[in-house]
Amino acid sequence: MARRTTTPPPPEDFEEKIVGIDVEEEMSNAFLEYSYSVIYSRALPDARDGLKPVQRRILYGANELGLRPDRGHVKSQRVVGEVMGKYHPHGDTAIYDALVRMAQPFTLRLPLIDGHGNFGSLDDGPAAARYTEARMASAALLMVGSLDEDTVDFVPNYDDTQYQPAVLPAAYPNLLVNGAAGIAVGMATNMAPHNLVEVIGAARHLITNPSCSLEDLMKFVPGPDLPCGGRIVGLDGIRDAYLTGRGSFRTRATVRIESVSPRRKGIVVTELPYLVGAEKVIEKVKDLVQAKKLQGIADLKDLSDRQNGLQLVIEVKNGFNPEAVLEQLYRLTPMEENFGINNVALVDGQPRTMGLKELLQVFVDFRTDVVRRRTAHRLAKREERLHLVEGLLVAILDIDEVIQLIRGSDDTATARARLIEVFELSEVQANYILELQLRRLTKFSLIELESEKADLERDIEQLRALLDSEKLLSRLVSTELAEVAKAHGTPRRTVLLEGTGAAASAGATPLEVADDPCRVLLSSTGLLARTASADPVPTEGGRSRHDAVVGSVATTARGEFGLITSAGRMVRLSALDLPTLPPTNGAPSLSGGAPLAAYVDLAKGEQPVTIVPVGELAPVVALGTAAGVVKRVTPDAPKGGEWDVIGLRPGDRVVGAAVADRADVDLVFITSDAQLLHFPAGGVRPQGRAAGGMAGVKLSPGATAVWFGVVDPAREAVVVTSSGTSAALPGTEAGALKVTPFTEYPPKGRATGGVRCHRFLKGEDTLVLAFAGNTPVRASAANGVAVPLPDADGRRDGSGVPGTAVIAAVAGVPADSSRDSPGGAGPLAADAPDADADGAGPATE
């Protein structure tokens, strides 16, 4: 059962007093008191050392624990407990969060804590304080240096049991170097980090020229220097912030556009804006792609590691302009962020908004006062020591009398009084002599004391000169700042770009690639690329590796073309997937092309032959096989990606293919036993894709066709042949190269043996390579060195130029990778001015 409770009556002498308080006034006073506490004791940094109270107490506590950079780390929890128990009674979480921030190299430009363990990242928080370890960084020593020389005032802690510095004697402008961020009541601060060398340069200039302008200071400090690098776009807002204390600028990620795969371009991000993590960007990009607000992104990979640092790879879909996709990323994702500068800091206990010059002036005045107080402290210490040394010298000169006087005294007080009276010493000197050890009373000690006295007198003279001269004092401050910059300075990381500072706008660059005319090229080494125009490939100009063109097709950027292989296959490919060659005045370089293997899977032994147009206007293509079969076919493709264009017999292969949509061009066979046959294309009727062709050239026993192509008899043409021996190792044939006018060879009927085109020398039994095409024909080695061809001579005049090891292709014949030149010059290759009209095929023996 519950008991009833009654309120006891008040005592007899109780007198009730009710005080009337205005609620509005009470709330105002309480809120102002709370606001002042937050502003002064928590949120805003001091303009002199650039530290908030919790940061200052962490550094002072670590210094008291002796956690210097040359000593081992200790558990972070120990530092947190020391600071919380003695100086900062606001909870261990707040202290540890501040300690972690002071150790993060991506947050501060010059970290003050050397952390060991997981101190977090821009995407993840740190481990608990019991798992991490910490000690002071080398920069922190500059903040607490000369703290024991009466350089700053000390104030009681929260319970008046300890003393702590009201400000640290910072040796560099920490507020500008590391920046600050804090939200108080009714105000906030947000300051960007800067480069130590630049800030100290500006401070030294201000010391030398107190009346300098902001433009003079900005020659030293052109803008912030963010810890993670990046780019700052637009400097107008920065100048406003340096002038008034308020402004803004835009930070962008550092990116480069490159080929991330043989088929795709990509955007590689190596630096992100200040305090933006990779996970934040990845998550935003995924959300925008799923919402269909961001187009052209095929994939996004985070390849960041400790060795290479940040590396986000954003693959761009084929058909989209990487520059336009990048503009979308800047506009829609955190890859471009705005940073608002609000330079609010405490000056004499009051919050003030200051520009660059005011911030530097506050630090310079404070540092000058620190050096002055340090100099006065050192002067007092040296004068005190000099006073003792002088008294000790008096005692040593009359040491016997001093000892006798002390032994004859009844007590210490009597001895002190007699020393003061007899030797005219001060009480301090007399006490020092009484406490002196006998081992100091030697002749050598006398020499040491005299030398020490001279040094002390010289130091005192210099210190007094410093205190008496503001100019010398300022020069010392400037010199010390220069030493700090030399010892701790690092190069600038952030790139400053002139601009409006406006956000990236949509539509500045077309998002999708336009369907402009282009030309697709196939090199003899199996590289594919496209040019920016559909003009014919020029033959003049320097040559480099992979420049022997074996196939050329005029199409559009979004068009298609077909690849014919030695297995009689036609594979449909898109020009949009190919890399674009940079424009050039001469012949294009295919070294920037993509390997064919990135687009087509070739079977073992299957080789590319050439490329041809496909589609509704596809021309008639002539094919020749090693067995001497010829076929004309219109490669009009079905809907599939690949199909057969000739029915090959077992063991046969296509050795050449070329456009032959005119009846007045000649089809040309060259066989391994040096027979050449050419006949009009009109004599070969077009067949269907499954047909096996008809007899083209009659082969001798054991011979094969090594080359097949198309030649326009109305234009000047030549025949190039190279002989060798089938018994020689690949690349060692001492063959002969011969160039003959095409008109030297009379036409023969189809399915005949043709005429002799090359006479073998002793030991030669086969043609290694062959070519027939319209001039001019230009040859080059794979290393870019031009290979001169011999002059054209008669068909029956000798066998050509002997002693030349011809290894690869002439006029666009694909290089045989199994053959290497003995001299290391690389394969020989050449191309004709119009590869659309000249055939090409793989070289065979």
Least trusted range by pLDDT, from 173-182, 324-333, 536-545, 807-816: 807-816
Q: What is the pLDDT of residue 813?
A: 37
Least trusted range by pLDDT, from 102-111, 147-156, 490-499: 490-499
Rg, Å, the chain Cα set = 44
Q: Which CATH architecture has domain 254-334?
A: 2-Layer Sandwich (3.30)
Range ranked top by mean pLDDT from 400-409, 587-596, 807-816, 834-843: 400-409
* Position 353 pLDDT exceeds 90: yes
* Position 763 pLDDT exceeds 80: no
Of 71, 224, 227, 56, nearest to 147 by C-alpha is 56
For β-strands 495-497 and 527-530, DSSP reports them as unpaired
Spatial contact of 714 and 845, defined as CB atoms under 8 Å apart: no
Range ranked top by mean pLDDT from 225-234, 596-605, 736-745, 791-800: 225-234
Least trusted range by pLDDT, from 558-567, 665-674, 703-712, 733-742: 733-742
Q: What is the pLDDT of residue 501?
A: 47
* Position 728 pLDDT exceeds 70: no
Q: What is the pLDDT of residue 539?
A: 60
Stretch 575-601: mean pLDDT: 79
**Backbone φ and ψ of 140, nearest 5°:** -70, -30
d(C-alpha 295, C-alpha 331), whole Å: 13
Taking phi first (over 0 means left), then psi (-120 to 50 degrees means alpha), and beta for anything else, what does residue 800 get? left
Sequence spans of domains, the chain: 39-170, 254-334, 373-488, 517-831
Q: 3-state DSSP call for residue 655?
A: strand
Q: What is the pLDDT of residue 814?
A: 37
pLDDT bracket for residue 176 (50, 70, 90): very high
d(C-alpha 145, C-alpha 473), whole Å: 18
* Position 236 pLDDT exceeds 50: yes
pLDDT bracket for residue 401 (50, 70, 90): confident
Token readout for 508 is: 């500045």
* Position 421 pLDDT exceeds 90: no
Choosing from 34, 36, 131, 163, the catalytic residue is 131
* Position 246 pLDDT exceeds 90: yes
Q: What is the pLDDT of residue 169?
A: 96
* Position 98 pLDDT exceeds 50: yes
Q: What is the pLDDT of residue 841?
A: 37
Least trusted range by pLDDT, from 52-66, 135-149, 552-566: 552-566
Stretch 88-117: mean pLDDT: 95
* Position 456 pLDDT exceeds 70: yes
Q: Which CATH architecture has domain 517-831?
A: 6 Propeller (2.120)
Residues shown for the chain? 845
Mean pLDDT of the chain: 84
CATH superfamily of 373-488: Topoisomerase, domain 3 (1.10.268.10)
Spatial contact of 452 and 446, defined as CB atoms under 8 Å apart: no
Spatial contact of 710 and 622, defined as CB atoms under 8 Å apart: yes
Whether the model clears a pTM of 0.95, i.e. scores above it, the answer is no
pLDDT bracket for residue 641 (50, 70, 90): confident
* Position 806 pLDDT exceeds 50: no
Give how far the C-alpha of residue 713 lies from the chain's centroid of Cα atoms, to the nearest Å. 57
Q: Annotated catalytic, 40?
A: no
Of 363, 381, 38, nearest to 188 by C-alpha is 38
Per-residue pLDDT tens digits for 289-344? 999 899 889 999 999 988 888 999 999 988 788 888 999 999 999 999 999 999 99
Stretch 435-440: mean pLDDT: 75
* Position 845 pLDDT exceeds 70: no
Give how far the C-alpha of residue 845 lies from the chain's centroid of Cα atoms, to the nearest Å. 50
Q: 3-state DSSP call for residue 90?
A: coil
Q: What is the pLDDT of residue 721?
A: 85
pLDDT bracket for residue 816 (50, 70, 90): very low
Q: What is the pLDDT of residue 509?
A: 62
Q: What is the pLDDT of residue 40?
A: 67
Per-residue pLDDT tens digits for 487-530? 999 999 999 998 654 544 444 566 777 778 888 988 877 888 88
Residue 25's CB is within 10 A of a number of other CB atoms, namely 9
More confident position, 240 or 581: 240
Q: Return the percent helix, strand and coil in the chain, to nearest 5.
A: 30, 25, 45
* Position 729 pLDDT exceeds 50: yes
pLDDT bracket for residue 589 (50, 70, 90): confident
pLDDT bracket for residue 833 (50, 70, 90): very low
More confident position, 577 or 777: 577
d(C-alpha 711, C-alpha 668), whole Å: 7
- Dihedral Cα 286, 291, 296, 298, nearest 10 deg: 40
* Position 222 pLDDT exceeds 70: yes
d(C-alpha 737, C-alpha 767), whole Å: 10
CATH superfamily of 39-170: Topoisomerase II, domain 5 (3.90.199.10)
* Position 29 pLDDT exceeds 80: no
Q: What is the pLDDT of residue 249?
A: 94
What is the percent of the chain where pLDDT is above 90?
A: 49
More confident position, 684 or 738: 684
